[in-house]
Amino acid sequence: MTNSSISINQLCFSYPDGTTALHEVSANICAGEAVAIIGANGAGKSTLLLHLNGCLLPANGDIKIGAIEITKKSLSDIRSMVGMVFQNPDDQLFMPTVYEDVAFGPLNQGLTPEEIKKRTEKALLDVDALQLQDKPPYQLSGGEKRRVAIATVLSMSPEILVLDEPTTGLDALGRRQLISLLKGLNHTLILATHDLELVLELCNRVIVLHQGRIAADGPAAEIFQNLDLLKQTHLEQPLSLRGCPKCVGNGVQS
């Protein structure tokens, strides 16, 4: 891997209807970090993620991946470095079989047939889905679709993995399998989620967005103990950090 750091500088973005989604957002993310972007609905989380691989371009401000600024001219380079996993796996799975979906990215990178096969099989192995390679995506479970969607990104060998609400729609087993998968990856990891227990398991750092601005940026443990901040930004403390209501009511500390 090369320099997979991210520099966001005074990023602003408004939608065509005039809705301001991001206002002067600035942050630096180092290579190898696992960072969660959290906030209430409408805080700007998905909009920020869509800027990280050029799906959206800044209205004002700039973003750099390593030394490369995200512009229309640099999109090809940026998208080879930043892999985006969308909230709905069906947005990424459109080929007749799982294998063809995962091979689609390497094929469009102009790689040799041997390298395409190598990358596709490795990505499927990495997400424990090689046995699904001949299946049509519509026959997969929600958890299987999620893993295969991640494989479609991994097959392009990105340095940064960006995930939007990765546990949405997963049952308990699928969620646990996804967490195990993400823990085993060696990537700069950025995820937007309402699943704050997931954040505690995967991310040491949290960026809190509120009304398109950064309200806080710091260690997850500190952010989740700041009850005033959580209240102001319409968030709740993860259940695992709350004391037993019965014990707290009786003055007993856990």
Each of the 254 residues of the chain gets a pLDDT tens digit; together they read 456 799 999 999 999 998 899 999 999 999 999 999 999 999 999 999 999 999 999 989 999 999 999 999 999 999 989 999 999 999 999 999 999 999 999 998 889 999 999 999 999 999 999 999 999 999 999 899 999 999 999 999 999 999 999 998 888 888 998 899 899 888 999 999 999 999 999 999 999 999 999 999 999 999 999 999 999 999 999 988 886 555 555 544 44
Q: Where are the domains of the chain?
A: 6-88+158-249
102: Cβ contacts below 8 Å, ≥ 6 apart: 120, 123, 124, 133, 148, 151, 152, 155
Domain at 6-88+158-249: CATH code: 3.40.50.300
14: DSSP letter: E
Question: Coil, strand or helix: which one is 110?
Answer: coil
**Token output for 121:** 């099989």
Give pLDDT, residue 2. 53
Give pLDDT, residue 110. 87
Rounded Cα distance between 67 and 6, Å, is 9
Give pLDDT, residue 186. 87
**Token output for 119:** 């990358």
**Token output for 72:** 């229309």
223: Cβ contacts below 8 Å, ≥ 6 apart: 206, 208, 216, 229, 230
Say which amino acid occupies 189.
L
Give pLDDT, residue 252. 43
Give pLDDT, residue 247. 55
Centre a 10 Å sphere on the Cβ of residue 24 and count the other Cβ atoms it contains: 13
**What residues does 14 pair with on adjacent strands?**
20
Give pLDDT, residue 213. 96
Give pLDDT, residue 131. 96
**∠223-7-150 over CA atoms, to 5°?**
75
Rounded Cα distance between 200 and 52, Å, is 23
Give pLDDT, residue 241. 87
Alpha helices, H only, the chain: 45-51, 75-81, 98-108, 113-126, 142-154, 172-183, 196-202, 220-223, 227-232, 245-249
Do the bridges between strand 188-192 and strand 34-38 make them parallel or antiparallel, or are there none, so unpaired?
A: parallel
- Distance (Å) of CA 13 to CA 35, 68, 151: 21, 20, 30
Rounded Cα distance between 189 and 180, Å, is 14
Which of these, 160, 137, 17, 174, lies nearest to 81 by C-alpha position?
160
**Token output for 105:** 């990215």
Give pLDDT, residue 4. 76
245: Cβ contacts below 8 Å, ≥ 6 apart: none
| pTM for the full predicted model | 0.89
User: Given the structure tokens 């259940």, which residue do they identify?
Assistant: 239
User: Given the structure tokens 């409408």, which residue do they identify?
Assistant: 42
Rounded Cα distance between 246 and 123, Å, is 47
**Token output for 132:** 């699904």
Centre a 10 Å sphere on the Cβ of residue 185 and count the other Cβ atoms it contains: 14
